[in-house]
Structure formats: C-alpha cells, structure tokens
Structure 1
C-alpha cells in the first residue's frame, strides 16, 4: 500500500478514535446531570436536631431513604427509639441508617459533648441540620384583629420574660453554638477528596441548614407570635453572619423558612388548629408536607445546592406573598 494510502487510513482511524473519545466524554459529562448525581446523598453523614418528630423526622426520612447516615438528636426527655427504628427500616434498601443521641441544645456544654461524641465516631460531618425550635404563645390570648386596646395590652403583657428567653435560646442561640461546635467536622467534609478528585464542597458537603420560619418574613397579626417571629427573624440574619464567617473554609450556611407544615407546634388537620382557616388561602391551596421539606433539604445539601450559600429559602406555598398584617 502506498504511503499516502497509509496516511489517509491512519488519519481516518485517529478521527474515529477522537469521535469515540468525545462521545465518551460527552456521556460522562451528561451523567453529572442525572438526578442521582445532582441530588444524591448516599454515604453522607448528617446530624439533625429536633429529629424525633415534626420537621426533623421529615428531613431525616428524606436523608436515610437516599442512603445517608443520620444522627438523630433530641432532648434527653424525648425518646428517639421509635423514630430510629422506623428510619433504619426506611433506609435499609439504600444503605441509610439512623442513630439516636440525646442532647439539650440550650446547654452549651451539652452541645460541646455532642460534637465530641460524634467526632469520636466520624472523621467528618457532611451536614448539620439545626432544626430544633419552640413557640411560646402569650398565656392570655385574644383575637388580635378584634380585641379592644385593653384586651390587646393584657394579652401581650401576659408574655413572660422566660418565654422570650427560652424562645431565643432554642430558636437562635442554639443554632449559633451548634454551628460553631461542628465547624471542624464540617470543614473536614468540605475539603474531603471525592472519588473523582474533587473536594467535598463541590458535592455539597460541609453545610449547615438552619430551620427558621416564614413567620420571620411577614407581619401577620391573626395570632400573637411576636416572640417566635422575632427569634426567627434573628435566625435569618444569623444565617448570613455565619455564612460570612465560615466562607474562607466554604462551610456553607443556609436557612429554610417553612410555612404551614405538620408538627407538634402546628398540628395541621387537627381540630382547633390556630391556623386552620388560613390553609385554603395559601396560593398552593394546601399545607406543606414531608416531600416539600425533605426535597428542599436534599437540594441544599447535595451537589445540586453546592453553589448556594448564605440564603434563606422560603418553603411556604406562597404564604408570604399574601400575608400582610390582616390575617
């Protein structure tokens, strides 16, 4: 065969190989857009406070169902055994698991012990979901929209200093100390070398998710939630402050602001619920559910949300679009 024919054949082979290589690289690149790649948390380590019920257990379900290991944290007086059993069963197929640990997040020393205890078991923590919260309504309640001046004053004055102190201690201060206590473990997750050679932060690892409330974003007056809403507004700003302080290490801090979602604080569907008359007035025409909450958290803690930092994401079906101080 003449040399020119060999050169032409060789060139054709090279072009063919290049096309195959490019096709392979294209398929590999496109694989990163698959749901499992974007939202996967298999093998991630999570700490979820207020985890035995309500929003906490909803979040934990979403994590273990997708293969994460979850440390479920709640008060020493609250048993996590039932929730842990259910979560382990739920996560069996995907390799997810749950482990209960008691901790009073109002106690700085208890928070330090919690971080130390988990640090003895894990080399890193991919996410801290700081979710525990309380609400202390005035003992003497009234219809804020229809009360007389004296009735309104009496109701608001009935709030105790301890109610405000407790509310801020759980809803704001605890998030601060938990985030600081777990910072080294979160930073270790952020710089963890992943199988593809990228740092953990590129996969969403090393993030604090703080549960706030849409009550921080409106001035609704149908019920007096003043101490609660004020603490949540402080929490929203805390998200930004912590994110800025942790930014050099790219330990992300984000918040979620749920609307009406079933919990012990807000027993959606039960008779006598303070907010039941408002559910149909939400643009979504319903209360939230565990899919809404778990899906939001999965986005924020995975590759899909790895470029999101310092924001509070409202998950309320459009509630704050209409909440205007009248209802």
Structure 2
C-alpha cells in the first residue's frame, strides 16, 4: 500500500539532476520543483549572474550553479567532469537550453486578410544569414545531442549506484512548434529544429533503453505564444502576469492563461519519480490546449 502513497510514488529525494538553461524560465521552475522535494540540482547556463540568482531560490541550498555552454564540447566535458568529481553520478539530465532564431512577423496576414507579395516573401526569407539559421540548429538540436552524450557515463553510474529505484533518464524541452505548419512569426529554423530534436529524442530513446537509460521530452511551450512564463514570453508580450485566468483570450490559449511554474515542476517530478519510471521516448504536450486549436497541427 505504501507504494501508492503520493510521498512514495512521487518521491525525488536523493535524486541528482542536471538542467541546462536552468537559470531562468522553464528550466528554473524545474530546478526549484525538484530541489524543493529533496533533489540535488546542477543548473548550467552561460550567464553567471542569472545562475547565482537562481541558486539563491533553493530551499535547501541544493541548486548548484555551473557556467557552461551547450554549443561547446569542451565546456560540456568540463561540467560533466566537475559533477563526476563532486558527486560521481547523475540520475536525470534535462536538456532545456533553446533559442528562437530568425522570425518573420512581416509575413503574417494583414488585418484585412491581404497576404504579402511574393517579392516581400523572398526579401524577408533571404534577409537572415545562413549563420543565423544555423545557430538555431546548433543550440536546439546539436546542443541537445551533445548534452546527452556528455552525461552518458554519469547516467550509467546513477543506475549502478541505485540511489533511487527508477532508472536514469534524459528529458528534452522541445516545443509544440515541432507540430506547427504556420511558421511566419516563430521562424522556420525554430520550428524545424524543434521537429528535429523531437525525432532525435525518439531515436536516442530507442537506442539507449538497452543501457537502462530512458529518454523523453515535453513539448512545453508554444513557438508563437509561450505557454509558460519565460524570457521569450516577456520579450514578446511584456512583463505582465499572464498566469491569471482571463488574462488571455481563449482564441490564443484555451485555458485563457499561460502555465504556472508549479505545473511544469509537477510534470517533471512525475517523470523524475517512480510515477513516471515506465516512460521512455514519450511525448508529453503541456500547452493548455493551444496545439489543439492550431489549423493543420498534428501530433
């Protein structure tokens, strides 16, 4: 009977986690949720000040900031080596870092329904450099791949140490943009990079499961309208509390608000605990129903 009690079923105490992009937004909410429930969480990011601010939000002093860059193999190696020396293993890696890339709001239909001319389309699409587009793939796909690879040995050691009953796993923060066909505002690079990392996650899940390392991902946020508070959302919509019900029209978010930090934290705790121990390669869309009202979108 004890195994059905929530304190056992959703227990993450003693778990060791790593979260890239853990200093702000969704990554920070994940880190705070895990740490508040007894996990030790290493957060990785480029900005030292943001990481330190995030670490100070920990309840038990178990959010540990480490500067690192997911686009640098040497940086990822250094972070993994530090954690290996300090703790010796990890149970959970969350590849959460991501960027938007070039977008094209000028190609959205005008209020009167008029569409841009073909000359305007070509001009807008031609404007970004190839390097700008490539950066989105470097962070959103290649960075995720090498983050996973960098921690494979430590994840394997987590299984061997057996400090928690559930096997080690890697989670990836993707986006419902992976399923969108309307790309003008978010940008083709963002949507296709998220579609790519979605498939990458499935492919790695199929391979790594033989090593008892699970892999899955959440499509947590919308490429056009973020479903959880983040720096991207603030930049697009302003610094307003959109978590209040009624702060958004139902045509934008069916639940008429964005997701709250506790809601993304709860999902991660499910995956990280015994409750989600049988998940591998799963897609978990947490967007308040937004994907369901997008024309042409499909799971």
Q: TM-score range by the shorter chain?
A: 0.7 to 0.9
In structure 1, runs of 5+ residues without a counterpart are 1-29, 195-199
SS of equivalent residue, structure 1 residue 261? coil
Deviation at 1:278, TM superposition (A): 6.4
Partner of 1:123: 88
SS of equivalent residue, structure 1 residue 46? strand
SS of equivalent residue, structure 2 residue 190? helix
TM-score normalised to structure 2 length: 0.87
Partner of 1:262: 229
Q: 1:286 aligns with which of 257, 261, 264?
A: 257
Q: Which sits farther off after the overlay, 155-164 or 237-246?
A: 155-164
Determine the C-alpha separation between the residues in 1 that align with 2:296 and 2:132. Answer: 23
Asked whether the 8 Å contact 1:144–1:152 carries over to 2, the reply is no
Deviation at 1:225, TM superposition (A): 2.0
Flag the 1:69–1:224 CA change in 2: closer, same or farther, 3 A: closer
Query: What number of residue pairs does the alignment pair up?
Result: 280
Deviation at 1:266, TM superposition (A): 1.8
Determine the C-alpha separation between the residues in 2 that align with 1:167 and 1:186. Answer: 27
Flag the 1:222–1:308 CA change in 2: closer, same or farther, 3 A: same
Q: 1:241 aligns with which of 199, 203, 223?
A: 203
Q: 2:174 aligns with which of 212, 236, 247?
A: 212
Determine the C-alpha separation between the residues in 2 that align with 1:300 and 1:112. Answer: 26
Aligned-residue Cα RMSD (Å) equals 2.2
Does 1:302 pair with 2:267? no
Partner of 1:107: 72
Determine the C-alpha separation between the residues in 1 that align with 2:149 and 2:184. Answer: 36
Deviation at 1:177, TM superposition (A): 0.8
Determine the C-alpha separation between the residues in 1 that align with 2:239 and 2:41. Answer: 33
Deviation at 1:77, TM superposition (A): 5.5
Flag the 1:321–1:67 CA change in 2: closer, same or farther, 3 A: same
Partner of 1:86: 57
Asked whether the 8 Å contact 1:48–1:56 carries over to 2, the reply is yes
Which structure has the highest helix share of the two? 1
In structure 2, runs of 5+ residues without a counterpart are 110-114, 222-226, 241-246
TM-score normalised to structure 1 length: 0.80
Determine the C-alpha separation between the residues in 2 that align with 1:59 and 1:158. Answer: 36
Determine the C-alpha separation between the residues in 1 that align with 2:250 and 2:49. Answer: 30
Flag the 1:215–1:78 CA change in 2: closer, same or farther, 3 A: farther
Aligned counterparts, 1:20-169, within 5 A? 30-76=1-47, 78-87=49-58, 91-92=59-60, 97-138=62-103, 141-145=105-109, 146-169=115-138
SS of equivalent residue, structure 2 residue 170? strand
Asked whether the 8 Å contact 1:204–1:304 carries over to 2, the reply is no
Determine the C-alpha separation between the residues in 2 that align with 1:181 and 1:324. Answer: 38
Asked whether the 8 Å contact 1:256–1:313 carries over to 2, the reply is yes
Flag the 1:168–1:226 CA change in 2: closer, same or farther, 3 A: same
